[in-house]
Structure 1
Amino acid sequence: MSSEGVKEDCLGWAARDPSGLLSPYKFSRRTVGSDDISIRITHCGVCYADVVWTRNEHGNSKYPLVPGHEIVGSVKEVGCSVQCFKVGDRVGVGTYVNSCRECKYCNDGLENYCEKGPVFTFDGIDADGTVTKGGYSSYIVVHERFCFRIPENYPLALAPPLLCAGITVCTPMMRHKMNQPGKSLGVIGLGGLCHMAVKFGKAFGLKVTVFSTSISKKEEALSLLGADHFVVSSDPEQMKAMKSLDFIIDTASGDHSFDHYMSLLKTGGVLVLVG
C-alpha cells in the first residue's frame, strides 16, 4: 500500500504531568516513510517503565507522554521499500522504533547500543524530530527493522509481555546457551521477569529452581509456572541444601546481595543480572 495516504488522527492515553494520571489524547503520527510500517494496535502490555516515565521518576519525561512499549497489532500500511511485511500481517514492537542503522552496533544487530542513540518507542526523539508516543494508542509508525512477526497460531493477547520481559530474559539465556535440556537453572525473584525465565527454562528442558524471600509465592512458582523446586532464599538451611546449578538468572528488582548465590553455581557456571 502506498505511503502517500492522508494522515489520520491517532487516539491515545497520555499523562500530562508527574501525577501519572492518564486521560484521552488526540495527536498525529509521522508520515509513513519508504521503510516504515504503520500498525493498527490491538494489544499493549503494561510495564513498570510506563509508571516510571509517566511519573517522571527519571526527571526527563516529556509531556504529554503516551506510554507503552509492548505493542501487538496488524499492519495497516507499508512504505514502498518494505519487503518483509505486508498489510494484514500480525506484528509486535518492543522498546525501540528506530536507530541510525549504520554504526557498528546496528550492523551487528545490537541496535540498543546504537552510537547515535536508539529511538525509544515512547518519549524518544523520532526521525522527524517529534517526540515518540507509545502503544497506549490506536496505531503507531515504526521502521520495519524494529517489527517482529507474530506467528499465526499464537494468541495476540499473550504476545505483548514477550516484547519486554520476555526478551529481557530470553536474550541472555540464548547468549549463554541456557537452552540445553537437562541442565539446571536458578531464578531469583518472582515477578514479571522471573515468570518469563521460568517458562522459557521449562520450554528449553531445564530443571528450574525459583529463589524467593517469600514462602507465599511457592504455590505460584510450582503449580502455576511449573518450576521444579522452590527455595526460600532467606532460610540458610534451604540454601545450604541446594545442589550446584549450571545457570542463575537474577531478576530481583530490590537491592540485594548476590554473593551467596554465586556459591550455588557449578565451576564455569553463569550468573546473569537482569533485575
Structure 2
Amino acid sequence: MEEINIKNKQGLTEEEFLEQYDDSIYQKPSFTVDMLIFTVMDEEKENYRKLPEKSLKILLVKRGDHPCIGKWALPGGFVDVNESLDEAALRVLRAETNIDDIYMEQLYTWGEVNRDPRTRVISSSYMALVDSSSLSIKAGRDEEDAAWFNVRYNLLQEKKEVVEKGYIYEQIVQIKLWNENEELSAKIKVIENPDGKVSREIIGSEGIAFDHDKFIEYAISRLRNKIEYTSLAFNLMPELFTLTELQKVYEVIQGKELLAAAFRRKVANMVIETNQFTKDAGHRPSKLFRYNSGWKRNI
C-alpha cells in the first residue's frame, strides 16, 4: 500500500516538518528517577525462645554535595537523554547503592515547580520491596553513606469537612526514620478534595533532603494498600516460611496486629503447605509453607 504524504496547514509533510523543527522554542526541564527500596528485617533476639521482632526499613543515601549536603535522600539521579526511565532507575540504583537487577515498579511522578533549587526538575519515583539479606549495600562515589532506616508512620490528626460538593479529608502524618546513628523526621499534611485530587504539603522536616518526605509518606500508604490485594509481601520471604513469619511481615507493613485465624483464611490460596518443619532450638516445630506462584486474586 502506497504511503500518503499528509501535509499540515503550512503545506509540509512530516519529513519536511521534522527537518526544520526547532526544539529550542521550548524550555527543557530536567528529569530524575528516585527509588524507594523497602525491606523487612529481623531485630536482634533478646531471648532465644522468642521469635525475633521485625521492622520495616527504607534505604537512604547521605548526600555528599550541594544542595542538601549532609542530609539523607532517596537513591536517585538524572535521566540521560538516550535511556528509558526504567533503564535510568536501574543504572542510578546500582551506581549509588550497589544494588543490581531488582524489580521496581513506577510509583508516581512529582512535578512541583520549585521542588529542586538547582533547576526545574520532574521526578519519577519507583518502589520495590526486597529481601535485604540478598543485597550488598555500598555507597556510590558521590554519596557519603548508604544505610537502612527503620520506618514509623503515625497518623497524628484526621478531620473531615463538609463542603458543597462532598467532603474534604485532611490528615497530618508523621514519618520517623532512624537507625543506630541517625534520627530523621517529617510531618506531612495530606488533603483529599471532593473531586478525588490529593495534595501533600511538608509542614516540618528534619534531616531529609529535597521533598523526599512526601515520596516516603505516599509510598508507605501505597505499600499498605497494595499488600492487601497483591502478592507483594512474598518478595520478602525465603523459599520456605511459617505462617507466623508471614503474618509478622504483613503486620509490620500495615502497622497493626492481625487476628491469626482471619489472616490464615486470607492467605490460604496464596501458599502451599509442605511436609517440612522448622528446626529452631527453643521452639516447637512449625509447618513450613511456600508461595503459590499460580495464585490469582479473585476479582
For the pair shown, which has the larger CA radius of gyration, 1 or 2?
Answer: 2
Q: What is the TM-score with the length of structure 1 in the denominator?
A: 0.28
Q: Which has the higher strand share?
A: 2
